[in-house]
Amino acid sequence: MARVFCVANQKGGVGKTTTCINLAAALSLKGKKVLLIDLDPQGNATSGSGIEKKSLEASIYELLLGESTFAETVIHGKGRGRYDVLPANRDLAGAEVELVNMEHRHFRLRKAIEKELGNYDFVLIDCSPSISLLTLNGLSCADGVIVPMQCEYYALEGLTDLVDTVQAVFSDMNPNLTMIGLLRVMFDPRITLQSQVSDQLKEHFGERVFDTVIPRNVRLAEAPGYGMPGVLYDPSSKGAKAYKAFAAEILSKLGHSKQG
Ligand code: ADP
Ligand code: MG
Q: What is the pLDDT of residue 257?
A: 58
Sheet holding 122-127, edge to edge: 84-86, 34-39, 122-127, 3-7, 144-149, 178-187, 209-215
224 CA closest ligand 1 atom index:
16
- Among residues 50, 28, 27, 24, the alpha carbon closest in space to that of 37 is found at 24
Of 31-35, 85-89, 170-174, 199-203, where does mean pLDDT reach its minimum? 170-174
- Distance of alpha carbon 66 from the chain centroid: 23
Average pLDDT of the segment spanning 55-68: 95
Mean residue pLDDT of the chain comes to 92
The ligand whose atoms approach the alpha carbon of 23 most closely is 1
Higher pLDDT, 152 or 3: 3
Half-sphere exposure of 241 (CA within 13 A, CB side): 6
Classify 34 as helix, strand or coil. Answer: strand
Q: What is the pLDDT of residue 158?
A: 72
- 14 C-beta closer than 6 A to ligand 1: yes
Half-sphere exposure of 73 (CA within 13 A, CB side): 26
- 213 C-beta closer than 6 A to ligand 1: no
Contacts of 222 (CB under 8 A, 6+ apart): 230, 233
d(CA 21, CA 166): 22
d(CA 199, CA 2): 33
Higher pLDDT, 9 or 85: 85
Nearest-CA residue for atom 11 of ligand 1: 13
Render pLDDT for 163-178 as a digit per residue (tens, 0 to 9): 777 878 777 777 777 7
What is the pTM (predicted TM-score) of this model?
0.95
Q: What is the pLDDT of residue 121?
A: 97
Of 25-34, 200-209, 218-227, 243-252, where does mean pLDDT reach its minimum? 200-209
Q: Which element (helix H / strand E) includes 73? A: helix 70-73
Sequence spans of domains, the chain: 3-254
119 has pLDDT over 90 = yes
Q: Where are the beta strands (DSSP E) in 130-229?
A: 144-149, 178-187, 209-215
d(CA 201, CA 178): 18
258 has pLDDT over 70 = no
The ligand whose atoms approach the alpha carbon of 13 most closely is 1
Mutate to test the pocket of ligand 1, among 6, 16, 18, 46 (most ligand atoms within 8 A of CB): 18
Render pLDDT for 123-156 as a digit per residue (tens, 0 to 9): 999 999 988 899 999 999 999 999 999 998 777 7
- Among residues 18, 4, 3, the alpha carbon closest in space to that of 148 is found at 18
Q: What is the pLDDT of residue 80?
A: 82
Average pLDDT of the segment spanning 184-199: 92
Render pLDDT for 92-103 as a digit per residue (tens, 0 to 9): 999 988 999 988
d(CA 140, CA 107): 6
186 CA closest ligand 1 atom index:
23
222 CA closest ligand 1 atom index:
16
Higher pLDDT, 102 or 15: 15
Q: What is the pLDDT of residue 260?
A: 41
Higher pLDDT, 198 or 179: 198
Residues whose beta carbons lie less than 5 angstroms from ion ligand 2: 16-17, 44
209 has pLDDT over 90 = yes
Determine the distance separating the centroid of ligand 1 and the alpha carbon of 214, expressed in angstroms. Answer: 11
d(CA 35, CA 109): 13
Q: Where are the beta strands (DSSP E) in the chain?
A: 3-7, 34-39, 84-86, 122-127, 144-149, 178-187, 209-215
- 147 C-beta closer than 6 A to ligand 1: no
Query: Which fold is adopted by the domain 3-254?
Result: Rossmann fold (3.40.50)
